[in-house]
Structure 1
Amino acid sequence: MKLHEQMPELYGATTWLNGRCEREDLIGEKPTLIHFWSISCRACKEDMPYLTGLQNRYKDRLNMIAVHMPRSEEDRNLQQIKKVAAQHGMTQSIFVDDNLKLTEAFGNQFVPAYYIFDKVGRLRHFQTDRSGMNMLKKRIDRLLNEMRR
């Protein structure tokens, strides 16, 4: 995806964990963070506490959706996905993308990957490296400040 493109429709999930979410649910009132992860990704698991912290910090001001993107056949084990999600306290909606439909719609190739959309659904920030987690927070803060004006 390129900056300022509209958020794709959230279609093609093999299943949803923690509740289904539609694109329309995410547009209109607050920014949205969509993060791609995989159960076989060590960096993804290391980032989970930070993401939980963001979710708690911005709970009423930020939408957050997780997309599980398999990197191997073993990553398609739904029971294992549920187990890892529970171990890391993931309470946000999780789009299980075994058929890579949403991954393709985003043009995403990486885990972890982070996409921040503004309240009207335009992509405002994208990053793949976990070294920039403070940048993620700064971008969210910037969008929230823009909304107050």
Structure 2
Amino acid sequence: MTCLLLPPVPASVGAARRWAAPLLPPDLRDSVVLVLSELLTNAVVLTTEGRAAGAEDIEVEVVVDPTHGHVTVAVTDPSDQPLPSAPAAVEAGADHGRGLLLLDALAHAHGWSPRACGGKCVWAQFRRRAAAPGRSGPRPAAAQPAGCTCA
């Protein structure tokens, strides 16, 4: 597990992409980085809406399962606003609104949970396209990312 704390500013999205990309298996890298960008963008927007400068940092967590090569990413932010459902469609010319559609399309599983200490954690799991040599059967269910619990 690898974690990164970032301020809730737009520049943090690019910083998180550059930080995460080398940690990821090549066959999952593009999908994971794209979803991570979307989750972090949402966290930055929700954290800074209606808040003064100096808002609490956002935590980004990346877990690569070394046995199976699967990846879990989690973004924890101080906003208590729940994650909405993905829209059914987005107008072609709209400037935003596609992030949750991308999450639905690219992640094997995803969800969110409120944190007892405040804020929420949004996570996404990605499975390798091909099973590792000598492995078969379903992958055991992953535990909730550490960032989703209060320390």
Query: How does the TM-score come out when normalised to structure 1?
Result: 0.26
More helix by share: 1
Structure of greater relative contact order (alpha carbons < 8 Å, 6+ residues apart): 1
Query: How does the TM-score come out when normalised to structure 2?
Result: 0.26
Structure of larger gyration radius: 2
